[in-house]
C-alpha cells in the first residue's frame, strides 16, 4: 500500500523530471563536462599510488616523478573544463525563467488567482536559480561518486584486510547520507517558501509605501517585517545547522577511520604483510576518501534541497494551459453581432470544487485568499440577457450582484458552469479563445500602466501604427493633452516618473485611450469612469460614441447614476437580472434601479 505522503512525493518526482526534460538545454555540453569530470575522477584515484611510492623513498626515480608531473598537468587541464556546468547553469536559468513566466501567462485565470502575485516574483527568479543548481550538483554528484568508487577499488587493491577494518566507518557515513537524503527535501522546501514570503512582503510594502506612511503604520510594519525576516533566518539556520551536524558526524567518523588505518597498517607492516609504499598509498586514500564522501553527502543534500525548493514551480509548470488556439476563427462579416446569454450560471465556489484534484498538492504555502474562495459572491444564476451591438449597455447593481463576474465570462477569463454566451448566433466557446480576446478591450477601475513610456503604453495592443499627431488628437478628445504637454518628454515620458503625478482620473483616461487605440469590436468598462467628474464623463462619453460607433460597449457600475449616458441598462441583483430597459423606462417601474437612483439624486443634491 502506498501512503498518501509517499504518493505525493512520487508525484513530485514525476513532475520534477518531466519539468527538467521540458526545458530545452544544450545537453551535449552537460554530457561532455560529465565525461571530463569522470576522467578527472579516474586520475585523482591514481595519484595516491604515485604519492605512496614517492613518500616511501623513490623520490629519485626519474620516471616516477615524470609520471607524477604529467598526471598533475593533465588533472589541472581537466579542471579547466569544469566551467562547462556553470555555463549550462546560466543557460538553464535563462530558459527556465522564460518558460515559467510564459507558463504564468498561459494558466487559466481560475488557477492563476490562487497565487499571491508578489510571491510569483520569487518563483520566477529564485526558484529558477535552484533548478540550475540542481544540474550543477548532479554533475558534482556523478564526479564525487565515481571518485569514491575508484578510490575504494584502489584501497581494495592495496589491502583487503585494512579495507574490511575500515568498512564500519564508511557504513556510518553511508547511513548519514541516507539520513541527509530524507531531511534535505523538507528543509529546502521550507527555506524556499520563506524566501517567497519575504520577497512578497517587501514587494507589497514597496508598492504601498504611501499608505504605510500616511496611515502611521511605520512601527507596525517594521515589527511585521522583523517577524518575516526572523522566520526566513530561522529556516536558513535550520538548514545550515543541519549541514553542520552532518559534516561533524562525517569528520568524527573520519578521525576513527584514520586511527584504524594507522594502527592496522603499522601492525601489518611489522608483520611484513604490507609494504610501506602500499600503507602510505592506503593512508592517502583513506584520508582523501572521507572528503569525497562528505562532498557526496552534500551533493545528495543539495539535490534534495533543490528538489524541495522547486516543488511548487515544477507543479505549476505541470498544470494545463488555456486552450487559446483551439476552435474556429471569427467570421469577418458576422450576421448578428449582438451578445446574448442563455441559461448562464457560474459560482466561484463550484469552480474551486471542480479544480480540487488539480489544486491538491500543488499550492502548498503559496495559496492566497483569492476570489475563488468566496463562494457566495460574484455568482450568476440562469442568466438570459441580450447586449445590443452598436450601443452603450450599462450593467448596474450592488456589490456582489455578479456584474464583474459576467464581464469576466464574456471576456473568456472564466468558463461558465452551465449555459452559454453566444455571438453571431454561436457559442463563443466554439471560437478560438485568442481570437475572441483580441476583439475585446477590458478597462478596469484600477487599470495598470506598465513600465516604459506613455507612448509605449498607449500602443501596447495597437493593431496598426499610430503617429504622434493621431495620439495627441485622441488625448485631446479625452482631455489629456494639457497633462501630457506639461510633462518634460510628452508622450515619451517614463511611466514611473509621470505616474507619481497622475490623478485617478488621468490614469483612467489613459487606460481608455489605450483601449481606443486597440480598436476592439467590444469595449468593456468595469467601473472605468468612477474617478471622473461629470464634465470629463460627458467628454469621454462623446469620444467613446465616436470611436465605437457600430461597435459594442459594456459599462459596469454599482451606482445607478452612471457617468456615461447608456442606451440600454441591465439591472442585476443576487446574480440575476432584475430589470432591463432604457433609463426612462426603468424609472417608471418600482424596481431597485428607481429606488437607488432617487437616493443617489438626493445625496448628490
Per-residue pLDDT reduced to its tens digit, 232-247: 888 888 878 777 777 7
**Secondary structure letter of residue 428 according to DSSP:** G
Percent of all residues in the chain with a pLDDT value above 90, rounded to a whole number:
6
pLDDT of residue 378: 60
User: Residue 403's pLDDT band (boundaries 50, 70, 90)?
Assistant: confident
Q: Residues 338-346: what's their mean pLDDT?
A: 90
Q: What is the pLDDT of residue 605?
A: 56
Q: What is the pLDDT of residue 443?
A: 85
**CA 406/CA 424 separation, integer angstroms:** 19
Q: What span, in angstroms and rounded, lies between the C-alpha atoms of 220 and 339? A: 50
- Model pLDDT, residue 185: 64
Least Cα distance to 295 among 236, 253, 247, 255 occurs for 247
Which of 188-192, 268-272, 484-488, 530-534 bottoms out in mean pLDDT, i.e. has the lowest? Answer: 530-534
In this predicted structure, the answer to whether residue 573 has a pLDDT above a threshold of 80 is yes
The answer to whether 513 touches 491, Cβ cutoff 8 Å, is: no
Q: Is residue 338 over pLDDT 70?
A: yes
CA distance 218 to 223: 9
Convert 110-167 into a string of H (helix), E (strand) and C (coil).
Answer: HHHCCECHHHHHHHHHHHHHHHHHHHHHHHHHHHHHHHHHHHHHHHHHHCHHHHHHHH
| pLDDT for position 349 | 63
In which element (H, E) is residue 440 found? strand 440-444
**DSSP for 530-599?**
TT--HHHHHHHHHHHHHHTTTSEEEEEESSSS-SS--SEEEEEETTEEEEEE-HHHHHTS-SHHHHHHHH
Average pLDDT across the chain, whole number: 77
For residue 508, the model assigns a pLDDT of 82
∠ CA 179-309-320 to the nearest 5 degrees? Answer: 125
pLDDT number for residue 472:
94
Spatial distance between the Cα atoms of 409 and 406, rounded to a whole number of angstroms:
5
pLDDT digits (tens, 9 = 90+) for 252-292: 777 777 788 888 888 888 888 888 888 888 888 888 887 78
pLDDT score, position 116: 64
The DSSP code sequence of 497-543 is: HHHTT--HHHHHHHHHHHHHHT--SEEEEESTTTT--HHHHHHHHHH
Q: What is the DSSP letter of 453?
A: B
Of 532, 473, 540, 474, nearest in space to 506 by CA: 532
Burial tier of 57 (Cβ tally within 10 Å: 0-12, 13-18, 19+)? exposed
325 burial (CB, 10 Å; 0-12 / 13-18 / 19+) is exposed
pLDDT at 128: 65
Q: Domain boundaries in the chain?
A: 15-317
d(CA 556, CA 593): 14
**Banded model confidence at residue 171, pLDDT cuts 50, 70, 90:** confident
Rounded Cα gap, residues 580 and 571, in angstroms: 6
CA angle, 584 as apex, 578 and 588 as ends, to 5°? 65
The predicted structure's pLDDT at residue 342: 92
Q: Give the DSSP per-residue string, 489-503.
A: TGGGSBHHHHHTT--
CB burial class (10 A; 0-12, 13-18, 19+) of residue 482? exposed
- CATH tag, 15-317: 1.20.1560.10
CA distance 284 to 224: 54
Region of 378 (left: φ > 0; alpha: ψ -120 to 50; beta: rest) is left
Cα→Cα distances 561→334, 564, 567, 571, Å: 34, 9, 13, 12
Indicate the helix (H) or strand (E) that contains 73.
helix 62-80
User: Of 285, 250, 582, which is closest to residue 594 (Cα–Cα)?
Assistant: 582
Q: Give mean pLDDT, residues 339-352.
A: 79
Contact of 494 with 444, CB cutoff 8 Å: no
Give residue 352's pLDDT.
Answer: 54
Instruction: Write phi, then psi, for 513 (nearest 5 degrees).
Output: -60, -40
5-50 confidence digits (pLDDT tens): 444 554 566 666 777 666 666 667 667 777 777 777 777 777 777 7
Confidence of residue 420 (pLDDT cuts 50, 70, 90): very high
> Could you read off the pLDDT of 72-122 as tens digits, one per residue?
777 777 766 666 666 767 777 777 777 777 887 787 777 776 666 666 666
Q: Looking at per-residue confidence, does 257 or 581 come out higher?
A: 581
What are the tens digits of pLDDT across the range 176-207? 666 666 666 677 777 777 887 787 777 777 76
Q: What is the pLDDT of residue 258?
A: 78
Identify which has the larger pLDDT, 323 or 112. 323
Amino acid at each position: 500500500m502506498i501512503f498518501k505522503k509517499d504518493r505525493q512525493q512520487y508525484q513530485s518526482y514525476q513532475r520534477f523530471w518531466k519539468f527538467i526534460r521540458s526545458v530545452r538545454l544544450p545537453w551535449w555540453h552537460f554530457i561532455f563536462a560529465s565525461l571530463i569530470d569522470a576522467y578527472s575522477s579516474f586520475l585523482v584515484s591514481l595519484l595516491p599510488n604515485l604519492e605512496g611510492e614517492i613518500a616511501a623513498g623513490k623520490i629519485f626515480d626519474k620516471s616516477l616523478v615524470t609520471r607524477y608531473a604529467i598526471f598533475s598537468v593533465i588533472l589541472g587541464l581537466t579542471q579547466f573544463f569544469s566551467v562547462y556546468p556553470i555555463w549550462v547553469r546560466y543557460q538553464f536559468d535563462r530558459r527556465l525563467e522564460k518558460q515559467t513566466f510564459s507558463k504564468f501567462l498561459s494558466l487559466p485565470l481560475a488557477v492563476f488567482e490562487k497565487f499571491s502575485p508578489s510571491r510569483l516574483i520569487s518563483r520566477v527568479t529564485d526558484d529558477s536559480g535552484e533548478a540550475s543548481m540542481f544540474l550543477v550538483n548532479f554533475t558534482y554528484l556523478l564526479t564525487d561518486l565515481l571518485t569514491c568508487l575508484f578510490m575504494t577499488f584502489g584501497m581494495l587493491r592495496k589491502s583487503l584486510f585494512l579495507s574490511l577494518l575500515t568498512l564500519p566507518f564508511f557504513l556510518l557515513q553511508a547511513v548519514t547520507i541516507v539520513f541527509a537524503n530524507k531531511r534535505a527535501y523538507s528543509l529546502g522546501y521550507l527555506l524556499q517558501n520563506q524566501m517567497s514570503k519575504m520577497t512578497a512582503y517587501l514587494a507589497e510594502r514597496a508598492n504601498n509605501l504611501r499608505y504605510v506612511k500616511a496611515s502611521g503604520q511605520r512601527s507596525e510594519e517594521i515589527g511585521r517585517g522583523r517577524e518575516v525576516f526572523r522566520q526566513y533566518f530561522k529556516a536558513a539556520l535550520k538548514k545550515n545547522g543541519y549541514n553542520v551536524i552532518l559534516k561533524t558526524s562525517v569528520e568524527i567518523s573520519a578521525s576513527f577511520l584514520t586511527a584504524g588505518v594507522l594502527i592496522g597498517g603499522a601492525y601489518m607492516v611489522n608483520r611484513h604483510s604490507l609494504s610501506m609504499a602500499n600503507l602510505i598509498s592506503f593512508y592517502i586514500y583513506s584520508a582523501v576518501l572521507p572528503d569525497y564522501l562528505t562532498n557526496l553527502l552534500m551533493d545528495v543534500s543539495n539535490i534534495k534541497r533543490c528538489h524541495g525548493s522547486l516543488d511548487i514551480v515544477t507543479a505549476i509548470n505541470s498544470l494545463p494551459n488555456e486552450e487559446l488556439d483551439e476552435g474556429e476563427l471569427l467570421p469577418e462579416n458576422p450576421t448578428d453581432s449582438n451578445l446574448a446569454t442563455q441559461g448562464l450560471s457560474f459560482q466561484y465556489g463550484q469552480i474551486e470544487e471542480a479544480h480540487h484534484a488539480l489544486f491538491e498538492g500543488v499550492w502548498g504555502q503559496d495559496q492566497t485568499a483569492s476570489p475563488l474562495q468566496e463562494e457566495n459572491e460574484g455568482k450568476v444564476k440562469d442568466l438570459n440577457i441580450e447586449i445590443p451591438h452598436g450601443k452603450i449597455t450599462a450593467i448596474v447593481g450592488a456589490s456582489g450582484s455578479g456584474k464583474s463576474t459576467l464581464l469576466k465570462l464574456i471576456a473568456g477569463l472564466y468558463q461558465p458552469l452551465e449555459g452559454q454566451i453566444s455571438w453571431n448566433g454561436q457559442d463563443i466557446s466554439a471560437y478560438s479563445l485568442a481570437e475572441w480576446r483580441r476583439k475585446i478591450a477590458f478597462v478596469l477601475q484600477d487599470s495598470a500602466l506598465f513600465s516604459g513610456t506613455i507612448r509605449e503604453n498607449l500602443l501596447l495592443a495597437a493593431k496598426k501604427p499610430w503617429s504622434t499627431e493621431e495620439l495627441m488628437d485622441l488625448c485631446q478628445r479625452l482631455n489629456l493633452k494639457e497633462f501630457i504637454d506639461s510633462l518634460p518628454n510628452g508622450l515619451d515620458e517614463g511611466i514611473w516618473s509621470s505616474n507619481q503625478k497622475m490623478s485617478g482620473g488621468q490614469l483612467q483616461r489613459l487606460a481608455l485611450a489605450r483601449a481606443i487605440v486597440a480598436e476592439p469590436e467590444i469595449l468593456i468598462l468595469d467601473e472605468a469612469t468612477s474617478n471622473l467628474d461629470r464634465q470629463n464623463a460627458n467628454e469621454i462619453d462623446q469620444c467613446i460614441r465616436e470611436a465605437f460607433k457600430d461597435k459594442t460597449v459594456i459599462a459596469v457600475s454599482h451606482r445607478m447614476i452612471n457617468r456615461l449616458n447608456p442606451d440600454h441598462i441591465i439591472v442585476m441583483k443576487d446574480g440575476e437580472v432584475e430589470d432591463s430597459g432604457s433609463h426612462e423606462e426603468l424609472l417608471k417601474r418600482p424596481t431597485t434601479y428607481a429606488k437607488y437612483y432617487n437616493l443617489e439624486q438626493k445625496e448628490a443634491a
